[in-house]
Chain A
């Protein structure tokens, strides 16, 4: 039998029993659509997190006081012992490292900000002019902190978008004097709104020179030193150089933790990648179930079409022809179902992206290939048994005795 004839024959057989055909196509479609949508969700989550981390600033190396045994990110260890202060001088010393492009010290605490009788609690960040570049932040108005001696900052403040909104509403904020703690500062800039996200949220932050912040909180230690390496390749050298310099300055004790954004990112990437894979696996089970359904329905179809099979044999069809015809039919139904499922899945993913514009819910290529492939393979595989059953039928019995 020629291939176009085989396909035509299989199509005719499929169309001859619309309910059975619709059921099979639906089962396959649901399986494939599940794979596509679920992997789009999983991979979307991975991309979202990776994207958010990237927006924290590229090539970032973070120094925090306290030692962590594993060298990985471990908030538990970071808190337990702070033996030696991480100072502004330490930060300045790090500028000697060849792999370091720029860096910003960061001290944080809470205080109150007031202007014209309005008062609210705020998070205060003490840092330097480099901060805005290291963290890739945007200004809405004015300028950021002025560059200059880190140990002597001017009484300037840059306020977050929400702080501005609450304290100034419609009136201009730039140039106004505000009180933060017991000092007066002039507002020189307003940060752009960042909103919720994994990136740094500056909306409720006020930023002042690091020296003034340390004086305000009466502490010498920094919360973090944010170091930017020259390139992706120099992240590791930067990490060792930074560790060495601090060790030297701290009498040979390695009492800081240096983490790279890359390490955190890789962990998340791996974690969410595994999650996507697991989700794809679960969806693939529904495909296998669809395959078993294909087998059963095809087996029933063989019984229903016994007379036809017997007739085909009487008309000269070989067992191989009958087998191929049934496999082609199973493959065709699976493929149609898989394609419809793929379109449904892409539609679902597009709908997700429409509903949550920030969420990149694109199914990964491997998942699409795996989904379509599994559908086709299970369809054919589970089509083989019924096809063999059909080919084995005894033509006399098949023709019926009446």
Chain B
């Protein structure tokens, strides 16, 4: 079986005036479908840069990225957008909900952008609202929701297109411990259903829940550890 993600020789250099910042240097990484990976490391070590690259929001300066066996670095912007739409779900630290849209509309947004018919959208959104315990919050706007509810809306949005992988950049960073725990459980449930889950986190305890931990430092992988069983 081909790996879901294959990175080889990835370089990402940011040019800041005269100096060059090597956010990622000579990075090789393989992730199989269905894995649960935590990316950890000090601030500035390149975790977000890696995640953006995996999500096709950013491009490497060198190296190749194969997603489901296909080289995606050479795809046209339109094709990359389609891959983002169909295969990738994002969860951000600061939720990134559209403030003027209701919870239901935010969840439906990827489907709206993909041109899915309204009745199909309606069907899936209703299910998602129920699944994430937001049924009575459907017509609330983000500023009328708690942080945990907002992140649940964001997770519902990330999964509504049934992607192959979910990329979460510090999804619990803006939440208290109990709510963060909730959110983690939801994400892990998704992983249990077969969705590949990649989480960036500073929290060693949360990171330890993943079956695989990537430790980054100065733009390169220092350690790649696998734990066999999850503590819960």
Contacts and interface: CB of A to CB of B under 8 A. Distances in A.
A396 B110 contact: no
Nearest to A15: B100
A396 B58 contact: yes
B77 A316 contact: no
A315 B100 contact: no
A315 B112 CA distance: 10
Nearest to B84: A316
A402 interface: yes
Counting chain B CB atoms within 10 Å of each CB, the highest count among A9, A12, A15, A320 belongs to: A9
Interface in A228-262: none
Contacts of B175: none
Nearest to A402: B94
A317 B90 CA distance: 13
B4 interface: no
Interface string A288-327: 0000000000000000000110011111111111000000
Contacts of A307: 96
Contacts of A401: 48
Nearest to B114: A316
A399 B58 CA distance: 11
Contacts of A15: 100
A13 B100 contact: yes
Task: Kindly name the residue among A2, A311, A315, A401 whose own CB sees the greatest number of chain B CB atoms within 10 A.
Answer: A315
Given A1-B115, A12-B100, A315 B110 contact: yes
| Residue in A1, A15, A318 whose Cβ sees the most chain B Cβ within 10 Å | A318
B86 interface: yes
Contacts of A12: 100-101
Contact of B96 (A1, A311, A396): A311
B200 interface: no
B160 to A, nearest CB: 10
A395 interface: yes
A5 B105 CA distance: 11
Interface in B79-98: 81-82, 84-86, 90, 92, 94, 96, 98
B52 interface: yes
B78 A315 contact: no
A5 B115 CA distance: 8
A16 interface: yes
Contacts of B94: 402
Contacts of A320: 78
Contacts of A317: 81, 85, 113
Which DSSP category, helix, strand, loop or mixed, fits chain A's interface?
Answer: helix
A244 B96 CA distance: 91
Nearest to B77: A319
Contact of A316 (B82, B101, B117): B82
Interface in A8-59: 9, 12-13, 15-16
B199 interface: no
Contacts of B110: 315-316
B114 to A, nearest CB: 6
A253 B85 CA distance: 92
Contacts of A13: 100
A321 B78 CA distance: 10
B24 to A, nearest CB: 13
A9 B112 contact: yes
B171 interface: no
Contacts of A319: 77-78, 81
B109 interface: yes
A396 B57 contact: yes
Contacts of B58: 395-396
A311 B52 CA distance: 12
Nearest to A321: B113
A312 B96 CA distance: 10
B115 A315 contact: no
A117 B90 CA distance: 106
Nearest to B116: A2
B157 interface: yes
A315 B85 contact: yes
Given A399-B96, A402-B94, A315 B113 contact: yes
Given A315-B109, A315-B157, A316-B161, A308 B52 contact: no
A402 B96 CA distance: 11
A318 B57 contact: no
A14 to B, nearest CB: 10
A315 B90 contact: yes
B55 interface: yes
Contacts of A321: 113
Contact of A399 (B85, B92, B109): B92
B120 to A, nearest CB: 12
A317 B96 CA distance: 15
A133 B151 CA distance: 89
A319 B161 CA distance: 19
B57 A399 contact: yes
Interface string B95-131: 0101111000000011011110100000000000000
Given A396-B57, A399-B57, A316 B113 contact: yes
| List of 8 A-B pairs having minimum Cβ-Cβ separation, nearest first | A316-B85, A16-B100, A318-B81, A395-B57, A316-B84, A315-B110, A317-B113, A396-B58
11 contacts: A2-B112, A15-B100, A314-B90, A315-B85, A315-B109, A316-B84, A316-B114, A318-B81, A395-B57, A399-B96, A402-B94
Given A315-B84, A315-B110, A316-B114, 19 more contacts: A1-B112, A1-B113, A2-B112, A2-B115, A5-B112, A311-B96, A311-B98, A314-B57, A314-B96, A315-B85, A315-B109, A315-B157, A316-B82, A317-B85, A318-B81, A319-B78, A321-B113, A399-B96, A402-B94
Interface of B: 48, 52, 55, 57-58, 77-78, 81-82, 84-86, 90, 92, 94, 96, 98-101, 109-110, 112-115, 117, 157, 161
